[in-house]
Chain A
Amino acid sequence: MKNLPSARLNVCLLAAALLLFPIAFDDPFYLDVGVAVLLAAISASAWNIVGGYAGQVSVGHSMFFGLGAYAPLLFYTLWGWPPLAGIPAGIALSVALAIVVGLPTFRLSGHYFSMATIAVAELIRIFFGTWTLVGGAIGLQGPAVARGWWDLTFRGDMPYYYIFLAVLGLLLFVTYEVERRRFGFYLRAIKASERAARSLGVPVRLTKLKALVLSATFTSAAGSLYAAKTGFIDPDSGFGILVSVQMVIVAALGGAGTLFGPLLGALILVPLQTAANTWFGGGGSGLTFILYGGIIVLIARFEPGGLFDLWRRLSPLIRKRVHAA
């Protein structure tokens, strides 16, 4: 972001709108959609660090989301620990997995990297589906009634909304800092040309690995939040390919490699998805696939830079027209 006063004003307006939304729309349905938007925004923003800025299009980020989702509920099921305690464990596992997966797969480029990440995520999904300790295909459940706030189980959606918003705020702040620092410059250089980046002394594989670790950390946190909110997790909702694809689509729709692109994408896609489910009678995950497919085609054909890019190109024209009028 340039330090234009108008940009800063826009950010303040956006923050205010997000903060006031639950108060303005005090209705369980809208609040539920709001929480879903925030969760999608967190996941996609986390993906964005490695998938957007560094251009390493992972389609297997559900591997981190799933670990983050399973860890708190597993701790609860095994030992009755509060889900809050499972969040760091999920993050630690995801970071370890990121290193194990990243070291070999970052030798691959382009589609091959994407395919390798899909393969790993699918392997984990199938493995969890047969592993009785984690509930097999049935999955795990969290505490039905909260014993205290640390169980992260609340009756209304309001507390979730603000917890999710705080995490999103932290993630966007981290991303903003990454963008400004050497790390962020290196990520963008790697995305543009690995060969040129290396010739300028950029340690390409280490930089990619750092990006993946940071991305996995927040993706895992997103999974933990999802599990805490839903109170239930199974292999498909944790490790399913739709989870990964949603991150890619949300980020790409808004603008991959931009700070607010994923949030913008979530603000558009999630309500659209909810509306589609309401109109056509929900439960049809097939419809979601069709929606995603359509969006992929449209983005790839007309706006590969996402809506954020479109806005950046159009806004000077609009301003000119306003001035002319």
Chain B
Amino acid sequence: MLLEAQNVAKAFGSFWAVAGADLAVEEGEIIGLIGPNGAGKSTFFNCLAGDMPPTSGRILFGGTDLTRAPPEAHARAGIGRTFQVPATFEDMSVIDNVMVGAFLRHPHRNDARALARRIVEMTGLRADQPARSLGTPGRKRLEIARVLASEPRLLLLDESLAGLTPSELQEAIALVRRIHESGVTIVIVEHIMEVIMTLTRRVLVFNQGRVISSGTPEQVVRDEAVIEAYLGRGAQRHSRGSGNP
């Protein structure tokens, strides 16, 4: 097992954003996390990345306990993550942004630059472009390129494909697939069902801090609990046409 999150919970004051969630990821999987806004996906995700320590529960990565380790330790161990709102290093060029990631495992400038250059090419960015001049799609792409350069074993993508046009989305899906084929395990938080349906084999659905359903994407979208979480109580009856107003 590559990643094991056992009964992870996170409270803000008296509010439990995540109320006990389990996740086990095998090497080589792509797993989707979905759920309505405020379901606790991002908080759970931040716990996995070490951005905030969980209130209770354990997080094991490759057998090592990372529950209370800081984010930089997660990165060193091989967990990479992107941010929902891209945290671009504005004053640096695209390649310099990517080099920051590359330096994690390649302390020498020339090695880091060579790796960064390969990744910039693979992600279809322009190396010398100032990062501040990138639009949202470019920034999301840069976010992925930067974390890839840190050579993670597990990649956590937080809505990295949101806000793209349909053609950009197709390219981005192809990019994620290429990354997966290169041997990186991926956990992806996404609202766009097209992404989840085409990329993932296994999906966890969050609602109100708990995992309410899991299985293949096809199973999950037919699950009554999931439909209810998204559309509210009674939606199922409506959609069957039995609920005559």
CB atoms of B99 and A199 under 8 A apart: no
Give the bracket for the number of chain B residues in contact with chain A: 20 to 34
Contact with A along B58-73 (1 / 0, CB 8 A): 0000000000001110
Interfacial chain A residues near B96, Cβ < 8 Å = 185, 188
Shortest Cβ distance from residue A132 to the other chain B in the assembled complex, whole angstroms: 46
If the complex has contacts A195-B51, A201-B75, are A189 and B70 also in contact, measured as CB distance less than 8 A? no
Assuming the contacts A192-B90, A193-B87, asked whether A204 and B100 have C-beta atoms less than 8 A apart, the reply is no
Q: Does A180 contact B (CB under 8 A)?
A: yes
Which residues B66-100 have CB closer than 8 A to chain A?
Answer: 70-72, 74-76, 80-81, 83, 87-92, 96, 99-100
Interface string of B223-241 (1 = CB under 8 A from A): 0000000000000000000
Q: A186-B100, A189-B89, A192-B89 are in contact. Are A200 and B70 (CB under 8 A)?
A: no
CB contact list, A201-220 vs B, under 8 A: 201-204
A-side interface residues toward B, CB under 8 Å? 180-182, 185-186, 188-189, 191-193, 195-204, 257
Where the two chains meet, the residues of B that have a C-beta atom closer than 8 Å to any C-beta of A are 49, 51, 70-72, 74-76, 80-81, 83, 87-92, 96, 99-101, 103-104, 107, 109, 112, 146-147, 150
Closest A residue to B112 by CB, please name it: A182
Would you call A199 and B91 a contact (CB within 8 A)? no
Choice from B71, B90, B103 contacting A198 with Cβ under 8 Å:
B71
Cβ-defined partner of A202 (8 Å) among B51, B72, B88, B91: B72
* Given A180-B109, A181-B109, A182-B112, A199 contacting B83 (CB threshold 8 A): yes
Contact: B51 with A199, CB < 8 Å? yes
Contact of B76 among A182, A195, A201 (CB under 8 A): A201
A193 to B92 CA separation, bound complex (whole angstroms): 12
* Docked complex Cα distance between A201 and B71 (Å): 7
Knowing that A188-B89, A192-B90, A200-B146 touch, tell me 14 more A-B residue pairs with CB under 8 angstroms.
A186-B100, A189-B89, A192-B88, A192-B89, A192-B92, A195-B83, A196-B88, A196-B89, A197-B100, A199-B74, A200-B104, A201-B76, A201-B150, A257-B91
- Whether the Cβ atoms of A200 and B147 lie closer than 8 Å is yes
Residues of A within 8 Å of B104, CB to CB, are 200-201
State in angstroms the CA–CA spacing of A202 and B103 once bound together.
Answer: 9
CA distance A181 to B103 in the complex (A): 9
State A214–B80 Cα separation when bound (angstroms): 30
Provide the bound-state CA to CA distance between A182 and B111, in Å. 11
User: How far apart are the CA atoms of A257 and B90 in the complex, in Å?
Assistant: 13
Q: Is the CB of A199 within 8 A of B81?
A: yes
Q: Hey, which chain A residues are within 8 Å of B89, CB to CB?
A: 188-189, 192-193, 196
Q: How far is the CB of B125 from chain A (nearest CB, A)?
A: 17
| Interface contact B109-A182, CB-CB below 8 Å | yes
**Once the chains are docked, how many angstroms separate the CA of A196 from the CA of B143?**
10
